[in-house]
Amino acid sequence: MKVNFVRMKSAVMPKQERERDTLHTPLLKVRNVSMAFGVLAVLKRVSFSVPRGNILVMIGPNGAGKTTLLKLISGLLPLQEGEIWFKQQRLSRIAPHRISSLGITQLFQDIQLFSNMSVIENVMVGCHLRAKTGFMRSGLRLPSARADEQSIFEVAMSKLSLVGLEQKALANPSSLSWGQQKLVGLARALATGAELLLLDEPYSGLLTDEVDKLNKLIFELQRQGITILIVEHLTDILMGIANQVIVLDYGEKIAEGTPAEIQQNKQVIDAYLGGGSLESERG
């Protein structure tokens, strides 16, 4: 019995359109996005675009609306105003899981690993979109379900070894260090096969050697063609890896450019850093 009553909405593009989607058009376009919780405006007409293969870093102090923006892109919050385009597909009124199936996934600031599962199972959940086995086939353990399971497992293991944690496959996530948990979260996100990775403060709480490891990993992912959007309030670490930097302050984009440009930007230094230099901002 095939178990699939997913509504095939406009979320999936026709194949031709997808092919027209060339490397030249940005992978992600955010246009005039505003967001308010009640009377509190969190984002004010923010626009930017991320070309394919870029690493975009968005910085801004706590409360600048960075996390909200990520949640709008991944669909966890409903878009109130403005447009978000992904691969020529407009993301509005699309459920988060459909957005994920289009190729966007997110690593949360608090990771949100599933503590009721082992590490490998966590990553296997990330492989959800790679198989179709439904309830009946799973429950009856049909050969097709087992084959699916095996392939999911292999993918999950490969992602886990990519982040160097295959030794911990059977551990419970809560027994890992914070840095290791971040890596598991990353492996889980990678397992979805997403083209755009949204990382919400991936560096927070990491030790120095873990930061280096993560940096290497991010470069490796970029090399594999994955586009990455990082949100961070620590700044100096990121300047080395970013292709493009955006500064948000109280919901407004106050600057955009290369790391070097941003470091020189007067407005950023005045408004956001209060006159201090970016280097001194290290927490």
By CB under 8 A, name the binding residues for another protein.
3, 5-6, 37-38, 74-76, 95-101, 104-106, 108, 112-118, 120-121, 124-129, 131, 133-135, 138-141, 145, 148-150, 152-154, 157, 161, 164, 166-171, 188-189, 191-192
In the complex, the smallest distance separating the C-beta of residue 224 from another protein, rounded to whole angstroms, is 18
The single-letter code of the amino acid at 14 is P
In the numeric block, the tokens 């199936």 are attached to: 101
In the complex, the smallest distance separating the C-beta of residue 227 from another protein, rounded to whole angstroms, is 16
79 vs 124 by CB, closer to another protein: 124
Residue 116's CB is within 10 A of a number of other CB atoms, namely: 10
169 vs 246 by CB, closer to another protein: 169
48 vs 108 by CB, closer to another protein: 108
What does 11-24 look like in DSSP terms, one character per residue?
Answer: TSPPHHHHHH--TT
In the complex, the smallest distance separating the C-beta of residue 236 from another protein, rounded to whole angstroms, is 28
139 vs 276 by CB, closer to another protein: 139
171 vs 254 by CB, closer to another protein: 171
Q: Cα dihedral angle (191, 7, 4, 15), rounded to 10 degrees?
A: -60
Contacts of 262 (CB under 8 A, 6+ apart): 239, 245, 247, 255, 268, 278
In the complex, the smallest distance separating the C-beta of residue 37 from another protein, rounded to whole angstroms, is 8
Distance CA 258, CA 143 (A): 52
Local structure of residue 85 (DSSP, 8 states): E
In the complex, the smallest distance separating the C-beta of residue 131 from another protein, rounded to whole angstroms, is 5
Q: What are phi and psi of 265, to 5 degrees?
A: -65, 120
54 vs 74 by CB, closer to another protein: 74
> Where are the alpha helices (H) located in 163-264, listed in sequence order?
178-191, 208-223, 236-239, 259-264
In the complex, the smallest distance separating the C-beta of residue 133 from another protein, rounded to whole angstroms, is 5
